[in-house]
C-alpha cells in the first residue's frame, strides 16, 4: 500500500540470456508481467532483425486463424474460450501447429468449394425444373391441331429464302428485380417480333451463395428469325439470366423434368454428406483453434521482445535491458535461473546505472483503480512524485457530495453502486459489452463513495428529496415568541409572516445538534440563510484544499533533497496563501464563534473588512472583530507582498550560486554535489523538471548548461501562476456554493410541480391512489434523469476540475509515463 502514496522504486536492469534458453526466459518473464523491455536495436530496421522470420511465420498463422475463425462464424458456430492457462509453446511446436493449421484450412477450402459447387448445380437443376414445370402456354404455332401444325400457313408460300424459317424458343429464369427491364428491352430491341411469358416461381429457392430463400421469375420467349434469336441471347446474357434448353413436345418436357428431379435427389444426398463432413471439420477447428490462437500470440510477443535484444560479441547470449520494480528483482532472478537451468548456463540479471527518468509504477486494486484513473487522466505522475490518488479517495467524493448533498438522491446512487459491487464477480456482468454500462461498472467504488458522502452532506443540509426532516427537536421555539410578544388573533390576521427574534428570551434554545435546523425550511429567508452559509463553507473548504496541496509539495522537496525549495518556494507560498485567504477563513470562523444570535444584527461585515485590508483603510460604520485588527491586516498584506520577490528570484539565484560553487575534490560524491548536478538540468528547463531532481540514477555524463534567463522565465511563470491562481482558484471553489444551491432549488421545483400537484388532486383514498401512481412514476423518472444523471454528471465534472486545476497544480506535475510491463495477461 506504500506505493499508493508514492510510486515504487524502479530500476534499470540488464539481462544476459543464454541463446538456447532465451525464448524460455522471455516467455516466463511474460507470464510474470513485471518487466518493461527497452529496444536496444532502435536503429535497426524491422526487416533486418534476428527473429523477423519467426515473427512472419506467426503472422501467417494468424492470417490462417482468421480464415478459420471466419468459417466458424459463417457456419453459425461460436469459438469456446480456451481452458486453463496456456504457456507459450516451444519453438519446435510451431512447425506442427503450422502443418495442422494448413491441413485444416485446406480441408475447409476443399469442402467449402465442393459444397458451393454442389449447391450451384442443385440450384441450376431446381431452376430448370421450375422453368419446365411452370406451365407457360406455348404460342399457337407450336400446338398441333388435327394433324396439321399451326406454324404451317394456310396458303403455301412461294419458294424463296425464308421458306425454311420456323418459330424457336428461349426459356430461363431471371431475378424479379430485373424482369421488367428485361421484358421492356426485349420488346424494344426486337421490335415486337417475339412473344414473351414471365411467371413467378411458386416456391422460393435457396440462394447457393447466401443460403437465403429467394423468388425467381421464369420466362419463355418464342421468336422467328435467327437474327432476333441472337439479339435475345445477347440480352439475356447481359441480364445474367439462367437459360435452359426447352423441348417443344409435352412428353419430352415431362421426361426431362423427371430426370431433373432424380438428379436433384442424388445431389441432395451428396450435399448432405458434404455438409456432415464440413461440420466434423468445423468441430475440430472449434476444439483446436482457441488454444492455438493464445499460444501463437504469446509466441509472437516473445519473438518481438527477442528482436529488441542485442547479441553479445561471442554470439552465445542475448543482452536485454528493461525497467522493473526493485522489489521484484529477487523474483526475476529466481525465475530466470529456473528457466535457463536446462541450457547449462544460468541467466543473469543485475542493475545498471542510468540518467533517464524511470517510468512510474503504482500498483492498484479494484477499489483504488478508478481513483488512480482520475489522476492519470490529468497526467501520469513523474517518477516517485507524490501521488494524489490516496487523498482523492476522500476529497473527490466529499467535494462531489457538497454540490450533490441530498439524502434521497445519495441513497439511490449508493444502492446502485452497491448492487454493482455485489455482482462484480458474475460472468454476465463482466462480459457486458455496453459502453455506458462498462463506464459505470469500472467506477462502481467511486460511485459508492460519492453516494455515501452525498447522504452525509444531505443530513448536514437536512434535505431528503428537497424535504426537511426533524430528527432532533428544533432549536427555535415559536411558543416562547408567541407568549412573550403577545400575539393576538388580530395581530396574526394582520401579519401573515411572523418573525422569530433570537434576542427574546427562550426563542433560540441553541444550535441544532447536527446540520441545518428544520425550522429554516419554513422560513421566507431560507434561501438567503443558505446562501451565506454555503458561500462561507465553500471558501473554507477551498482554502483548506489548496493549503493541503501546497503542504504535499513539501514531501516532494524532502524526498528529492531539494531543501532550498522548502524555504524559497513552499514557505513563501504558504505565507502568501494563508496570510490573505487563510486570514479570510479565520475571520469567518471567528465571527461564527464570537457573535451570538442576539447580536447578529450589529455584527460587522467580513467582506468590508477584507476590502479594507487591501486598501489599508478603515470604515467607521464597520466595527472591528477583535482589538488591533487593522495592524494585523496590514502586517499580513505586507508579508504577502514581500513573498513575491522571494518566489520570483530565490530559486534562480540559489541555482546560479550553486552552479558557480567550486567542485569538491574527487572521491565520494557528497549529497550536495549530487543535488547540484541535477539542479543544472532543472536550470536548463530540460530533463526531469524542477521537482524531480533526485529521482534518477546520475551517471558520469556532462553537466547540463546553466541558462539563467530560462530559469528566471520559468520561475516568473510559476510565481505569476501561483499568485494570481490563489485569487482565481479561491473564487473557483464558489462553484461548490452555486452547484449546491442549484441542486437544492431544482429538487424543490421538481417536488412542487409534480408531487405536490399530485397530492392535491385527490382527497379521497381511492382517487389519491389512482392519481399518485402515474404522478410518482413521473417524479421517479424525472428524479433519475435530471437530478441523478444530469446533475450528478455536472457535479462530477466540477469536482474533477477542482482536483485537476485547483488542487493538483500546487504540487503535481503529471508529466511522467507509466511502466508498461511485457505481460501475457491480455492474451490469457
Asked if residue 667 has pLDDT above 70, the reply is no
- Is 189 part of any domain? yes
Asked if residue 62 has pLDDT above 50, the reply is yes
> Is 31 within 8 Å of 67 (Cβ atoms)?
no
Confidence at 766, pLDDT banded by 50, 70, 90: low
Q: For residue range 358-404, what is the model confidence (pLDDT) as tens digits?
A: 999 999 999 999 999 999 999 999 999 999 999 999 999 999 999 99
pLDDT of residue 497: 78
Nearest to 74 by CA among 205, 207, 212, 210: 210
How far apart CA 293 and CA 59 sit, in angstroms, is 11
How far apart CA 220 and CA 215 sit, in angstroms, is 17
> Is 819 within 8 Å of 33 (Cβ atoms)?
no
Asked if residue 196 has pLDDT above 90, the reply is no
Span 674-679, average pLDDT: 36
How far apart CA 219 and CA 217 sit, in angstroms, is 7
C-alpha cell at 789: 444523471
Same domain, 77 and 225: no
> Is 543 within 8 Å of 576 (Cβ atoms)?
no
> Is 570 within 8 Å of 550 (Cβ atoms)?
yes
Specify the residue for cell string 483548506. Answer: 544
Nearest to 614 by CA among 595, 639, 633, 589: 633
Secondary structure, 3-state, 724-790: HHHHHHHHHCCHHHHHHHHHHHHHHHHHHHHHHHHHHHCCCHHHHHHHHHHHHHHHHHHHHHHHHHH
Rg of the chain, C-alpha, whole Å: 43
How far apart CA 228 and CA 113 sit, in angstroms, is 38
- Cα 244 to Cα 131, 172, 225, 241, 801: the distances in Å are 8, 5, 19, 10, 76
Asked if residue 625 has pLDDT above 70, the reply is yes
Higher pLDDT, 442 or 773: 442
Least confident stretch, 430-434, 669-673, 786-790: 669-673
* CATH number of the structural domain spanning residue 245: 3.30.70.2750
Same domain, 289 and 183: no
Burial 790-828 (b: 16+ CB within 10 A, else e): ebbebbbebbbebbbebbbbbbbbbebeebebbbbeebe
Same domain, 268 and 121: yes
How far apart CA 792 and CA 742 sit, in angstroms, is 12
- Is 407 part of any domain? no
The continuous run of DSSP H or E covering 221 comes out as strand 217-224
> Is 381 within 8 Å of 7 (Cβ atoms)?
yes
> Is 367 within 8 Å of 417 (Cβ atoms)?
no
Asked if residue 130 has pLDDT above 50, the reply is yes
Higher pLDDT, 661 or 736: 736
Span 131-154, average pLDDT: 53
- Is 159 part of any domain? no
Confidence at 136, pLDDT banded by 50, 70, 90: low
Mark which of 324, 348, 365 sits at the end of a domain: 324
- Is 336 part of any domain? no
Confidence at 673, pLDDT banded by 50, 70, 90: very low
Mark which of 210, 245, 272 sits at the end of a domain: 272
Confidence at 691, pLDDT banded by 50, 70, 90: very low
Same domain, 66 and 174: no
How far apart CA 605 and CA 629 sit, in angstroms, is 13
Specify the residue for cell string 463553507. Answer: 537
- Is 814 part of any domain? no
Same domain, 245 and 222: yes
Same domain, 104 and 195: no
**Beta carbons within 8 Å of 779's beta carbon, 6+ residues apart:** 750, 751, 754, 755, 758
> Is 626 within 8 Å of 586 (Cβ atoms)?
no
Same domain, 228 and 125: yes
Q: What is the DSSP track for 782-821? A: HIIIIIIIIHHHHHHHHHHHIIIIIIGGGT------B---
Same domain, 237 and 120: yes
- Is 526 part of any domain? no
User: Which pTM was predicted?
Assistant: 0.79
**Beta carbons within 8 Å of 760's beta carbon, 6+ residues apart:** none
**Beta carbons within 8 Å of 384's beta carbon, 6+ residues apart:** 6, 7, 9, 360, 559, 560, 692, 695
pLDDT of residue 677: 29
Asked if residue 160 has pLDDT above 70, the reply is no
Q: For residue range 502-550, what is the model confidence (pLDDT) as tens digits?
A: 777 777 788 888 989 888 888 888 888 888 899 999 999 999 999 999 9
pLDDT of residue 621: 83
Structural domain for 78, as ranges: 21-108+275-324
Asked if residue 101 has pLDDT above 90, the reply is yes
pLDDT of residue 474: 84
Same domain, 257 and 124: yes
How far apart CA 192 and CA 228 sit, in angstroms, is 10
How far apart CA 301 and CA 304 sit, in angstroms, is 5
pLDDT of residue 697: 42
Span 672-700, average pLDDT: 38
How far apart CA 73 and CA 364 sit, in angstroms, is 38
How far apart CA 340 and CA 4 sit, in angstroms, is 35
C-alpha cell at 799: 469536482
Same domain, 246 and 318: no
Burial 269-307 (b: 16+ CB within 10 A, else e): eebeebeeebeebbeebbeebbbbbbbbbbbbbbbbbbb
Q: Is 193 helix (H, G, I), strand (E, B) or coil?
A: coil
C-alpha cell at 593: 464563534
Mark which of 255, 289, 324 sits at the end of a domain: 324
Higher pLDDT, 114 or 135: 114
Same domain, 180 and 298: no
- Is 745 part of any domain? no
- Is 521 part of any domain? no
pLDDT of residue 343: 65
How many other CB atoms are there within 10 angstroms of residue 503's CB atom? 12
Span 296-310, average pLDDT: 93
pLDDT of residue 662: 66
Domain count, the chain: 2
What does pLDDT average to over the chain?
84
**Phi-psi group of 668: left, alpha or beta (phi > 0 → left; psi -120 to 50 → alpha; rest → beta):** beta
Asked if residue 671 has pLDDT above 80, the reply is no
Span 804-828, average pLDDT: 88
Same domain, 185 and 282: no
Amino acid at each position: 500500500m506504500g506505493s499508493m502514496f508514492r510510486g515504487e522504486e524502479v530500476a534499470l536492469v540488464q539481462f544476459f540470456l543464454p541463446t538456447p534458453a532465451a525464448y524460455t526466459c522471455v516467455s516466463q518473464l511474460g507470464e510474470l508481467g513485471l518487466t518493461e523491455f527497452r529496444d536496444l536495436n532502435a536503429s535497426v530496421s524491422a526487416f533486418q532483425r534476428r527473429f523477423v522470420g519467426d515473427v512472419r511465420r506467426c503472422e501467417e498463422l494468424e492470417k490462417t486463424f482468421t480464415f478459420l475463425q471466419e468459417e466458424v462464424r459463417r457456419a453459425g458456430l461460436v469459438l469456446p474460450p480456451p481452458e486453463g492457462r496456456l504457456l507459450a509453446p516451444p519453438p519446435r511446436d510451431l512447425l506442427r501447429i503450422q502443418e495442422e493449421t494448413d491441413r485444416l484450412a485446406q480441408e475447409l477450402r476443399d469442402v467449402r468449394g465442393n459444397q458451393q459447387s454442389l449447391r450451384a448445380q442443385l440450384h441450376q437443376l431446381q431452376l430448370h425444373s421450375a422453368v419446365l414445370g411452370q406451365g407457360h402456354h406455348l404460342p399457337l404455332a407450336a400446338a398441333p391441331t388435327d394433324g396439321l401444325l399451326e406454324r404451317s400457313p394456310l396458303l403455301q408460300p412461294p419458294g424463296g429464302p425464308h421458306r425454311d424459317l420456323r418459330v424457336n424458343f428461349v426459356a430461363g429464369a431471371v431475378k424479379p428485380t430485373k424482369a421488367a427491364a428485361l421484358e421492356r428491352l426485349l420488346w424494344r430491341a426486337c421490335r415486337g417480333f417475339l412473344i414473351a411469358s414471365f411467371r413467378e416461381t411458386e416456391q422460393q429457392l435457396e440462394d447457393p451463395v447466401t443460403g437465403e430463400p429467394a423468388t425467381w421469375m421464369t420466362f419463355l420467349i418464342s421468336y422467328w428469325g435467327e437474327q432476333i434469336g441472337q439479339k435475345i441471347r445477347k440480352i439475356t446474357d447481359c441480364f445474367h439470366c439462367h437459360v435452359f434448353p426447352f423441348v417443344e413436345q409435352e412428353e419430352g418436357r415431362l421426361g426431362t423434368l423427371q430426370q431433373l428431379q432424380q438428379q436433384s435427389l442424388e445431389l441432395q444426398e451428396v450435399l448432405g454428406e458434404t455438409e456432415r463432413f464440413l461440420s466434423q471439420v468445423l468441430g475440430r477447428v472449434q476444439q483446436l483453434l482457441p488454444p492455438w490462437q493464445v499460444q501463437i500470440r504469446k509466441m509472437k510477443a516473445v519473438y518481438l521482445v527477442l528482436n529488441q535484444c542485442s547479441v553479445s560479441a561471442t554470439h552465445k547470449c542475448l543482452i536485454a535491458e528493461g525497467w522493473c520494480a526493485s522489489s521484484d528483482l529477487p523474483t526475476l532472478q529466481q525465475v530466470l535461473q529456473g528457466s535457463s537451468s536446462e541450457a547449462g548456463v544460468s541467466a543473469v540479471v543485475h542493475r545498471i546505472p542510468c540518467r533517464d527518468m524511470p517510468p512510474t509504477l503504482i500498483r492498484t486494486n479494484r477499489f483504488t483503480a478508478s481513483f488512480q484513473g482520475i489522476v492519470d487522466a490529468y497526467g501520469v505522475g513523474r517518477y516517485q512524485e507524490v501521488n494524489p490518488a490516496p487523498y482523492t479517495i476522500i476529497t473527490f467524493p466529499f467535494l462531489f457530495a457538497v454540490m450533490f448533498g441530498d439524502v434521497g438522491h445519495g441513497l439511490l446512487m449508493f444502492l446502485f453502486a452497491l448492487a454493482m459491487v455485489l455482482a462484480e464477480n458474475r460472468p454476465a456482468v463482466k462480459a457486458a459489452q455496453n459502453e455506458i454500462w462498462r463506464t459505470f461498472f469500472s467506477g462502481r467504488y467511486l460511485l459508492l463513495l460519492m453516494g455515501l458522502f452525498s447522504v452525509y452532506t444531505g443530513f448536514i443540509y437536512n434535505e431528503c428529496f428537497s424535504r426537511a426532516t426533524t430528527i432532533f427537536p428544533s432549536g427555535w421555539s415559536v411558543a416562547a415568541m408567541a407568549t412573550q410578544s403577545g400575539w393576538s388573533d388580530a395581530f396574526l390576521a394582520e401579519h401573515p409572516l411572523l418573525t422569530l427574534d433570537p434576542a427574546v428570551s427562550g426563542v433560540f434554545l441553541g444550535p441544532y445538534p447536527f446540520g441545518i435546523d428544520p425550522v429554516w425550511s419554513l422560513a421566507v429567508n431560507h434561501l438567503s440563510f443558505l446562501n451565506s452559509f454555503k458561500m462561507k463553507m465553500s471558501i473554507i473548504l477551498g482554502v483548506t484544499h489548496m493549503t493541503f496541496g501546497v503542504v504535499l509539495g513539501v514531501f516532494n522537496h524532502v524526498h528529492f533533497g531539494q531543501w532550498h525549495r522548502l524555504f524559497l518556494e513552499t514557505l513563501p507560498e504558504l505565507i502568501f496563501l494563508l496570510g490573505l485567504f487563510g486570514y479570510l477563513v479565520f475571520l469567518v470562523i471567528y465571527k461564527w464563534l464570537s457573535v451570538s444570535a442576539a447580536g447578529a444584527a450589529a455584527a460587522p461585515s467580513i467582506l468590508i473588512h477584507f476590502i479594507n485590508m487591501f486598501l489599508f483603510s478603515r470604515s467607521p460604520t464597520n466595527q472591528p472583530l477583535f482589538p488591533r485588527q487593522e495592524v494585523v491586516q496590514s502586517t499580513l498584506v505586507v508579508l504577502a507582498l514581500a513573498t513575491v520577490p522571494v518566489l520570483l528570484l530565490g530559486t534562480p539565484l540559489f541555482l546560479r550560486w550553486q552552479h558557480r560553487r567550486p567542485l569538491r575534490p574527487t572521491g565520494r560524491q557528497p549529497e550536495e554535489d549530487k543535488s547540484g548536478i541535477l539542479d543544472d538540468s532543472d536550470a536548463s528547463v530540460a530533463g526531469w523538471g524542477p521537482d524531480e531532481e533526485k529521482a534518477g540514477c546520475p551517471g558520469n555524463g556532462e553537466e547540463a548548461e546553466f541558462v539563467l534567463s530560462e530559469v528566471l522565465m520559468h520561475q516568473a511563470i510559476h510565481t505569476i501562476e501561483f499568485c494570481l491562481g490563489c485569487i482565481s482558484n479561491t473564487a473557483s471553489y464558489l462553484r461548490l456554493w452555486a452547484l449546491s444551491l442549484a441542486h437544492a432549488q431544482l429538487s424543490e421545483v421538481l417536488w412542487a410541480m409534480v408531487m405536490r400537484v399530485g397530492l392535491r388532486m385527490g382527497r379521497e383514498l381511492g382517487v389519491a391512489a389512482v392519481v399518485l401512481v402515474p404522478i410518482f412514476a413521473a417524479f421517479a423518472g424525472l428524479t433519475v434523469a435530471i437530478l441523478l444523471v444530469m446533475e450528478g454528471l455536472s457535479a462530477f465534472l466540477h469536482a474533477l476540475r477542482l482536483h485537476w486545476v485547483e488542487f493538483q497544480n500546487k504540487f503535481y506535475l503529471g508529466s511522467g509515463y507509466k511502466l508498461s510491463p511485457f505481460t501475457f495477461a491480455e492474451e490469457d
